[in-house]
Structure 1
Amino acid sequence: MTFFFELIENRIGFSRIGRVNLSKEKKLYLKTPNILIPIKNILMKQFSFIQEFENHDLFIISKEIFLQIGFLREKFKDTGFIFSYPGTLEKFEEILEGNLEIFTKDNVLAIIPFNIPTTSIDRAFAEGEVKRYLLNVALILNKHPNINFGLSIRLFNYPMLINLYFPTIKGKENIKLLNLMEIFDNFKNIRNILNTISIIKKDFDNNLVILASGKIIPKFYPILIYLGVDLIDSSYLLYLSSKDLYDTTEYLIPIHKVSYFPCSCVACKSKLKNLKAIRFSSEKKDLLCLHNLIATRNYMMKIKQYLHHEDFRAFVEKSSFDHISIISILKILDKEYFNIVKYETPILQKDKLVKCLGPSSYFRPDFREFRGRMINNFEPESWTTLIILLPCSAKKPYSQSKSHKLFLEVIRKFPKFQNFQEIILTSPLGAIPRQLENVYPVNSYDVSVTGEWDEEELQITSNMLIEILLKYNKSIPVICHLEGEYVKIAENVNSKVPHNFSFSKIESKVTSKASLASFEDLINQHLNDFVPADNLSQVNYLSKTWIRKFIKILDYQFGIGTGRYVINGELKPIKIKSKSYINLIDLKSQEILGIFRFSLGQVFLKMKGLKRLPLLLIKSNIIVFNGQKISGSTLFRPGIIEYGQDLIPNEHVVIVDIDKKSIIGAGTLLVGTNFIKNSKTGRIVEIYEKI
């Protein structure tokens, strides 16, 4: 039997979209993330269950009889099955030997059970049991090299035991799935959960499917997906149903307390309402099981909708607001595990509104990556004579807002406005140079504006502004056209940098005529305070607003200095209105150097532009191809012999030939460094340009 996982796309955090194939006979691709619906006698007796779930992708079975029922195999022939035996390892081996043909050829994957002992005395005892289990696992794997298996991971509350599993997982290619048993049973053990997940993501093959099983309620499904879980076993819902608990997604409520049924599923529309008060009723429990499974299936569909088409991080944050442990997981993951999460999180999201819901959003990984990359890759223009601090706007990019159009009217009254460096202060991103207002997430975020900032917001923006200003000559004056909390930020930064700050007089609001007049007067007063060594004439190509932007965007993508190498002469940006992109045409050669896409805020270089990149400057963005010429539109793992150690999904990479002498293509990464390091197969780069 062939069983494999293919990563289709990374999402924020450890979340990902993929597909598994559980059939050797045909290409039966089953999408992940997903839930496993249990098949039990109590459910199979209900026609409504079969009707509701006959088109579901994946089921979990625990009894041998379900492997052999012809009706079941025929009814669910286009779905996948996970066989998870709840008994002893010895009995499992008997079942395996008696059903070799099914496990070899059919769309069934067996998980090697680790059910005994059910608890541990101490760490030494637990370690001994894990080692004993792994010895038995090795015997099974060696005996059946052509059958793929799932491996049960039990840690007995000792997260460091995960390392005992590593040699077996790495040494046996027929392990395709890791069943994380009981790890998520107690969400108060936050650090144990995060330690385990981080080790799996950092050190294990990223093509392994991750299954979460145990006492898992639907409330936790979004955070599990965010942590990189591909499949969730929903069997615990049967137990909850036996305890008369009704799932509303947000909460589990005793059925007798439900006065207003929020669901219109087949169970709720039939007799469940009438049976809710009956204490002992097998029919009530059957219907409750059905409702809970349907509600959970529907919730997973909602999760997948957000994962595919919306800002999934915001969805996870919303699901965490009434659960302290989930909030804590996000905070700890953001702050303490960023150096692992960053390699799984795309550097940008296309056409998605990023909602900042409060403190839980401040350190989300894509925001942290933007701040760090902006600071590292932003180089002051050598002709800068004045720095101007401005407030942000609700409309993005800022320059399209009413307020910034008024600011720009004032600024562009001065013939040498190209010598001014505008910096926009915003929460929660920080301080944004005008040239980078079109990049993600600056072009996509939305935040509630009340005029009041908390201390953490003030600190983030202040620290970022300090780092930017310290890059500039200390004699360059700083003009602040700000009000409210923005002034507090500027005053705080003023005390920590050597620059001279001046504040315009605000009357009513920053866009009032009097305020704008004060702003203009202030610029006039300090216009000639600093004379740069590098004087820029108005006819110089570097004075053009869009050229200044493209240079800084290229620096942001590939590193300091790369923008000037690509754009080393007059440029003619031609906006294609119907296509929402700009062609970057070299005015001298009339060749297209690249394409700027508004929806992504990125420049996609053509070969003419790529050839201008110096390899020494972009070494962190280079992938070495095992050949001289790329064929096809996707670069797979076997075709890569070297790669940068700091690669992030959706980042632009330059592909060089095996001799490292010539640039032969470019593309966007589908995965990050950790995936490339730990995996032997899979799609790595989506090629958009090649020789």
Structure 2
Amino acid sequence: MIIEPVSQLGLARHLMITIKDKNNNKEKRFETPNVIIYGNLVDNGIPGDIISFATSYKTHEGALIRFPRADYIPYEEKIVKEGNVALVIGAPKESLKDVDIVFTIISKDVGSSYRRTLDTIIKIRRVMRDDAILYVSGYFKPGSLPILYYFGVDLVDDAFLVGDPKRNVIARNMVKVAEKVRKLIDEKRLRDYIEIIARKSQYNASMIKIGEKDYFKELERGYPVLNEKKVLMTVFEEALYRPDVRRYIERLREYYVPPRSERVLLLIPCSYRKPYSKSKTHREILKALSKIKNRYAIH
């Protein structure tokens, strides 16, 4: 398996995966984030027959990626490694840096809680290599899929849709979301999109707010120091916790020292017109300040 990084934003990575089929010596390639399709929809996403599902109730003989067999028992924690892949159930107690792809299952009771979902994902990612793949199966809310990708999930599947009459429709939408997320990672705009998603449900809003607040260190490592477009698109409270904003605030608290000659801190409100030099309000304030004798006492 060859894993080629394309781009990254925080824990979200756009990867190109190449797997060689030893039977016919051909290569199969796919990108992440992506959706593994086990249903009838095969025109998009990743065909489910290239991956062995790892649990006793879903296997694919001859799959290019084969996870070790293991019975899924709720609340039982285990790690089973085989070659360059690993199956993880629960919180990992050992390093996974020697494997290329990690598979885990999120049960319905875990998936219904954004805190437990994030805790499961982050604990696994902490012990993985940065370029390794995290495949999460089980229960999750389709509307929260971009947020899962944002917090480091690379692959999901449609197994939780078994029996759902809208399975193909939902799966097709999931594939479209994955395609969009890959593009947004490349453009370094995924976080802007996540903020829009967060407004669609309380679950999403809480997930992004708590996730960025509790896992800032993990997210911040992969965040660019400079934004090439120099544009921050946000208007909501959740923006206070996004890694680039929080990094700036913490840097300001830690390193900024006000000039000793200045005694008064003047806070000027934001203006509708940008840049501020064109704002009537700001021009009037600067005009008034210019008439003060001790102008340099104001900061």
Q: Tell me the TM-score normalised to structure 2 length.
A: 0.81
Aligned counterpart for 1:202 among listed residues 117, 126, 136: 126
Q: Deviations over 1:33-90 (max 9, x none)?
A: 111122x5xx2xxxxx56xx1xx452212xxxxxxxxxxxxxxxxxxx222254279x
Q: Deviations over 1:166-199 (max 9, x none)?
A: 25x34xx4x3211121257643433333333333
Confirm or deny that 1:153 pairs with 2:108: no
Which residue is equivalent to 2:116? 192
Aligned counterpart for 1:362 among listed residues 240, 256, 260: 240
Q: Deviations over 1:442-463 (max 9, x none)?
A: xxxxxxxxxxxxxxxxxxxxxx
Q: Which amino acid aligns with 2:196?
A: K
Which residue is equivalent to 1:113? 69
Which residue is equivalent to 2:3? 5
Q: In the TM superposition, what is the alpha-carbon distance from 1:316 to its structure 2 partner?
A: 1.8
Confirm or deny that 1:230 pairs with 2:154: yes
Secondary structure at 1:356's aligned position in 2?
coil
Aligned counterpart for 2:209 among listed residues 307, 311, 331: 331
Secondary structure at 1:36's aligned position in 2?
strand
1:211-610 superposed matches below 5 A: 211-241=135-165, 246=166, 289-309=167-187, 311-351=189-229, 353-381=231-259, 388-399=266-277, 401-405=279-283, 407-408=285-286, 410=287, 516=288, 519-521=289-291, 523-524=292-293, 526-527=294-295
Secondary structure at 2:51's aligned position in 1?
strand
Q: 1:407 to 1:311 in 2, by over 3 A?
A: farther
Q: Which amino acid aligns with 1:112?
A: P
Q: Tell me the TM-score normalised to structure 1 length.
A: 0.38
Q: In the TM superposition, what is the alpha-carbon distance from 1:323 to its structure 2 partner?
A: 2.8
1:185–1:214 contact (8 Å) kept in structure 2: no
Q: 1:57 to 1:294 in 2, by over 3 A?
A: closer
Which residue is equivalent to 1:83? 52
Which residue is equivalent to 2:48? 60
Q: 1:326 to 1:185 in 2, by over 3 A?
A: farther
Q: 1:88 to 1:193 in 2, by over 3 A?
A: closer
1:188–1:325 contact (8 Å) kept in structure 2: no
Which residue is equivalent to 1:628? none
Q: 1:294 to 1:367 in 2, by over 3 A?
A: same
Confirm or deny that 1:16 pairs with 2:47: no
Confirm or deny that 1:31 pairs with 2:31: yes
Q: In the TM superposition, what is the alpha-carbon distance from 1:327 to its structure 2 partner?
A: 2.1
Q: Deviations over 1:351-396 (max 9, x none)?
A: 2643324222222221110111123333445665875542223455
Q: Deviations over 1:146-185 (max 9, x none)?
A: xx43x22222xxxxx421xx25x34xx4x32111212576
- Counterpart CA distance in 1 for 2:147 and 2:219 is 14
Secondary structure at 2:102's aligned position in 1?
strand
Secondary structure at 2:241's aligned position in 1?
coil
Q: Deviations over 1:553-572 (max 9, x none)?
A: xxxxxxxxxxxxxxxxxxxx
Superposition RMSD in Å: 3.4
- Counterpart CA distance in 1 for 2:131 and 2:157 is 19
Q: In the TM superposition, what is the alpha-carbon distance from 1:20 to its structure 2 partner?
A: 1.6
The percentage of aligned residue pairs carrying the same residue is: 21
- Counterpart CA distance in 2 for 1:198 and 1:36 is 21
2:195–2:238 contact (8 Å) kept in structure 1: yes
- Counterpart CA distance in 2 for 1:398 and 1:330 is 31
Aligned length: 295
2:54–2:87 contact (8 Å) kept in structure 1: no
Structure number with the bigger relative contact order (C-alpha 8 A, sep ≥ 6) is 2
Q: Which runs of 4+ in 1 moved over 6 A?
A: none
Secondary structure at 1:162's aligned position in 2?
coil
- Counterpart CA distance in 2 for 1:303 and 1:350 is 19
Secondary structure at 1:339's aligned position in 2?
helix
- Counterpart CA distance in 2 for 1:8 and 1:84 is 26
Secondary structure at 2:20's aligned position in 1?
coil
Q: 1:113 to 1:319 in 2, by over 3 A?
A: farther
Q: Deviations over 1:546-596 (max 9, x none)?
A: xxxxxxxxxxxxxxxxxxxxxxxxxxxxxxxxxxxxxxxxxxxxxxxxxxx
- Counterpart CA distance in 2 for 1:213 and 1:528 is 61
- Counterpart CA distance in 2 for 1:234 and 1:377 is 48
Secondary structure at 1:152's aligned position in 2?
strand
Q: 1:88 to 1:357 in 2, by over 3 A?
A: same
Q: In the TM superposition, what is the alpha-carbon distance from 1:228 to its structure 2 partner?
A: 0.7
Q: Deviations over 1:302-324 (max 9, x none)?
A: 33343333632232232233433
Q: Which amino acid aligns with 2:113?
A: N
- Counterpart CA distance in 2 for 1:528 and 1:374 is 21
Q: Which amino acid aligns with 2:270?
A: C
2:105–2:137 contact (8 Å) kept in structure 1: yes
Unaligned runs of 5+ in 2: none
Unaligned runs of 5+ in 1: 44-48, 62-80, 121-125, 156-160, 247-288, 411-515, 531-691
Which residue is equivalent to 1:508? none
Secondary structure at 1:326's aligned position in 2?
helix
Q: 1:302 to 1:204 in 2, by over 3 A?
A: closer
Q: 1:305 to 1:236 in 2, by over 3 A?
A: same
2:121–2:153 contact (8 Å) kept in structure 1: no
- Counterpart CA distance in 2 for 1:212 and 1:528 is 58
Structure index of larger Rg: 1
Secondary structure at 1:112's aligned position in 2?
coil
Secondary structure at 2:268's aligned position in 1?
strand
